[in-house]
Amino acid sequence: MTDATNTAPLTAPVPEAPAARPTRPAVEFARSFAANRPALFGLVLLIAILCMTFLGPLIYPVNPYDIVDMPFAPPGGEYAPLGTDYVGRDILSGIINGGRATLAVGAAAAVISVVLGILMGALAGFYEGPIDAALMKVTEFFQILPTLLLAMVVVTVFGSNLYTITAAIGIVSWPQVARLARAEFLRIRKLDYVEAARTAGARNRYLIFRVILPGALPPLVVAAGLSVGSSILFEAGLSFLGLGDPNTMSWGLIVGQNRNYLLDAWWTVTLPGVAIFLTVLAISLVGDGINDALNPRLRRR
């Protein structure tokens, strides 16, 4: 007869595997963004443009307003690697130094348009009813106006300085953001977690900015990126029409001042235009990548 107390189990119990630690949202966002090759290319390109704009004057310290060679000197010259404009100023120095003003106008105008658009769209989509109808009438009024013509009127009346140009671009660009924000608020305000926060006694301000707005951010982030790109194009268009700030070097100003000599000296317009194109492309790719990384549905694809 064996003693039951001395019998040992034939197999030892298998220890349970530790629960997987949840991935942090920031880490998951970074991984998703890094897996998006076009977005990563856009980010690298945008960083290169920013480095050229802000560090370029230290490497190539040429005043963009100085006359360094004969007018319309072709690229590859001794004093101007990318040629000169109609008065003999260095195109490369103009592109390097003009990027700061162009990027500043694009970013500031995008901030104005996005802030105005989110405020109008959030209030219209959250309250609905008469408030929604009134705000959408205002939005439609600005949307049917010719944006370029309205910006030209504002710049002509208040002066063609950098601040007026930035404000004019921001004022005429917010309706698209407002309609997008309104659509997102109309969709999200009826979800369960919003109703739960409302039932818990959350105030309207808290519901708008702390509960609904974070869920509406992904498409608005893309809209903000597109607003920066469109604002850069807008500034170039105003400068092309002769309404740019003549006292501040920018890519649009270079294009505008040399527009009459495109057939005689292609580099004076083409090279600044390429800088504008690459910047807008980089911002658009980064904005799309941020949208894909913030959107869980797109992140699973």
Please choose, from the candidates 269, 275, 274, the residue with its C-alpha nearest in 3D space to the C-alpha of residue 256: 269
Amino acid at 36: N
Check residue 273 and give its pLDDT: 92
User: How close are the terminal C-alpha atoms of the chain, in Å?
Assistant: 65
Q: What is the pLDDT of residue 201?
A: 85
Question: Quick one: 144 exposed, middle or buried, by C-beta within 10 A (0-12, 13-18, 19+)?
Answer: exposed
C-alpha–C-alpha distance, residues 196 and 214, integer Å: 16
Please state the rounded mean pLDDT for residues 54-67. 91
| Tokens 């959250």, located at residue | 126
How far apart CA 181 and CA 165 sit, in angstroms, is: 25
Average pLDDT over residues 163-191: 91
Q: How far apart are CA 295 and CA 301, in angstroms?
A: 11
Paired residues of 67 in beta bridges: 89
Q: Which residue has the higher pLDDT, 170 or 13?
A: 170
Mean pLDDT across the chain: 85
> Cα 52 from chain centroid?
19
CB neighbour list of residue 159: distance below 8 Å, 6 or more residues apart: none
Provide mean pLDDT across the span 84-108.
91
CA proximity to 116, closest of 163, 176, 189, 166: 176
pLDDT for 126 beyond 80: yes
Residue 131: partners with Cβ closer than 8 Å, 6 or more residues away: 123, 124
pLDDT of residue 2: 47
Model confidence at 227, pLDDT cuts 50, 70, 90, reads: confident
% of the chain beyond a pLDDT of 70: 90
9-49 pLDDT, tens digit per residue, is 545 555 554 544 556 767 887 888 888 899 999 999 999 99
Quick check: 151 and 88 in contact, CB under 8 A? no
Q: Is 69 left (phi over 0), alpha (psi -120 to 50) or beta?
A: beta
Mean pLDDT, to the nearest integer, of 66-82? 89
Nearest to 126 by CA among 65, 61, 216: 216
Is residue 211 a contact partner of residue 202, using CB atoms and an 8 Å limit?
yes
d(CA 247, CA 249): 7
Mean pLDDT of 223-249: 85
How far apart (Å, rounded) are the C-alpha atoms in residues 67 and 63? Answer: 9
User: Given pLDDT bands bounded at 50, 70 and 90, which one contains residue 195?
Assistant: confident
DSSP secondary structure letters along 67-85: B-SSTTPPTT-SS-TT-B-
Distance, CA of 215 to chain centre = 19
What's the average model confidence in pLDDT over 143-161?
86
Instruction: Decide: pTM greater than 0.85.
Output: no
* Length of the chain counted residue by residue: 301
Torsion of CA 250, 256, 260, 266, to 10 degrees: 40
- Domains detected in the chain: 55-299 (1.10.3720.10)
Tokens 């900015």, located at residue: 209
How many whole angstroms separate alpha carbon 258 and alpha carbon 242? 11
